[in-house]
Amino acid sequence: MDKKINIGIIGAAGYTGGELLRIVINHPNVNIAFAHSKSQIGKPVYATHTELLGDTELTFSGEDIQTLLNQESLNAIFLCSGHGESKKFLDEYNVPETVKIIDLSTDFRDESNGFTYGLPELQKEKIKTSTKIANPGCFATSIELAILPLANAGLLKDDVHVSAVTGSTGAGQSLSATTHFSWRNNNLSIYKAFSHQHLTEIKMSLKKLQAGFDKAVNFVPYRGDFTRGIMANVYTPYSGTIEEAKELYKNYYAEHPFTHVSDSPIDVKQVVNTNKCFIHLEVHDGQLLISSIIDNLTKGASGQAVQNLNLIFGLPEDAGLRLKAPSF
């Protein structure tokens, strides 16, 4: 296909902005109209995202944002600024109705303001006809993909328990006491136990498939001493066999190109730098244990955003997203 989509990126100097640039520079159907950054105006993109040296001569835009948005050829924008910034952006600037919006913040994941929650494995057909997408959170993506097949079959009968660990890039590019190498290296800690912000969207998604679900999702998040990736281990009561569980999951994800059920145990490095989610299932004494792994910056953020772009514009869902994992 030779269709070209002209896109702009707001907040292009951060982790998700950089990951998005890395993907779309090599996307056969995308042209980058602008990459905007308040802090890096006029500088080469490769000066900030150093791995892109030799891949692009693009510079960070310093023009007035409204002027950039008013380009007649512009088809879509990605909002990659911090949480809370997207609402401010849309209040301050007029985005033409012809320009699709894909927001990577938490601001509209409740599907307010006309946004569609952008988890393709949950509501692909709705995404295809939407003009505004709220990209899911990284923990939420991993956890939802672990349990959506159960909800779809009405099999969530009791509390769901989640223990999940994420890499340091999940905290964003701004430095804090818990992101410095000297603190994070050779260390492990929990944070926001039972109160993480992604719980809201997880529960919303489950109720889309199993309206009567009213049990607790007990979520304990961990900070890992690695850079990127998420592993979520989820368990809940289950009365079926392992064979039935595998069939249920494989059938649910049969039409989704990035989520795969593995018969062998999984590890994070298998999906780092890809848009894939791998799932492994085990049954233990009436409990179904679901392990789910993703890259928090790709399937958990920028890769999924491009997946949504592909769906909105009628491109193959995997266009530009056949990315290689490091493996070792």
Q: Which helix (H) or strand (E) holds 253?
A: none
Q: What is the CA radius of gyration of the chain?
A: 19
Residue with tokens 């919006």: 101
Dihedral sign of CA atoms 255, 200, 108, 211 in order: positive
Bridge partners of residue 230, in order along the sequence: 166, 294
- Distance separating alpha carbons of residues 262 and 245, to the nearest angstrom: 12
158 φ, ψ (degrees, to nearest 5) = -150, -170
Which among 296, 328, 153 is positioned nearest to 232, based on CA atoms? Answer: 296
Is 35 in contact with 62 (CB distance < 8 Å)?
A: no
Is 213 in contact with 206 (CB distance < 8 Å)?
A: yes
**In this structure, what DSSP letter does residue 115 have?**
-
Q: Is 138 a catalytic residue?
A: yes
Dihedral sign of CA atoms 141, 143, 149, 152 in order: negative
Which among 3, 9, 7 is positioned nearest to 29, based on CA atoms? Answer: 3
Please give the sequence-ordered ranges of beta strands (E in DSSP) within the chain, or none if there are none. Answer: 5-10, 30-36, 76-79, 100-103, 116-117, 132-134, 160-166, 189-190, 217-223, 230-237, 259-262, 277-284, 287-294
pLDDT at 1: 57
User: What ranges in the chain are assigned the alpha helix state H?
Assistant: 15-24, 45-48, 65-69, 85-92, 120-128, 138-152, 181-184, 199-209, 242-252, 303-312
Distances (CA, A) of 239 to 158, 322, 323: 12, 37, 37
pLDDT at 171: 47
Which among 155, 117, 156, 173 is positioned nearest to 304, based on CA atoms? Answer: 117
- Give pTM, 2 decimals: 0.95
Distances (CA, A) of 201 to 102, 111, 124, 204: 17, 10, 17, 5
Q: How many residues does the chain have?
A: 328
pLDDT at 62: 80
Q: Are strands 277-284 and 287-294 parallel, antiparallel or unpaired?
A: antiparallel
Instruction: Encode the chain (328 residues) as per-residue pLDDT tens digits.
Output: 577 999 999 999 999 999 999 999 999 999 999 999 988 999 999 999 999 999 999 999 987 999 999 999 999 999 999 889 999 999 999 999 999 999 999 999 999 999 999 999 999 999 999 999 999 999 999 999 999 999 999 999 999 999 999 987 654 555 556 666 666 688 899 998 998 889 999 999 999 999 999 999 999 999 999 889 999 999 999 999 999 999 999 999 999 999 999 999 999 999 999 999 999 999 999 999 999 999 999 999 999 999 999 999 999 999 999 999 987 8
- Distance separating alpha carbons of residues 184 and 18, to the nearest angstrom: 22
Q: What is the pLDDT of residues 147-199, one digit of tens each?
A: 999 999 999 999 999 999 998 765 455 555 666 666 668 889 999 899 888 99
- Distance separating alpha carbons of residues 267 and 224, to the nearest angstrom: 14
- Distance separating alpha carbons of residues 288 and 108, to the nearest angstrom: 32
Q: Among residues 33, 74, 99, 138, which one is catalytic?
A: 138
| CB burial readout 52-70, b (16+ within 10 A) else e | beeebebbbbeeebeebbe
Q: CA dihedral in degrees (107, 208, 125, 75; nearest 10)? A: 0
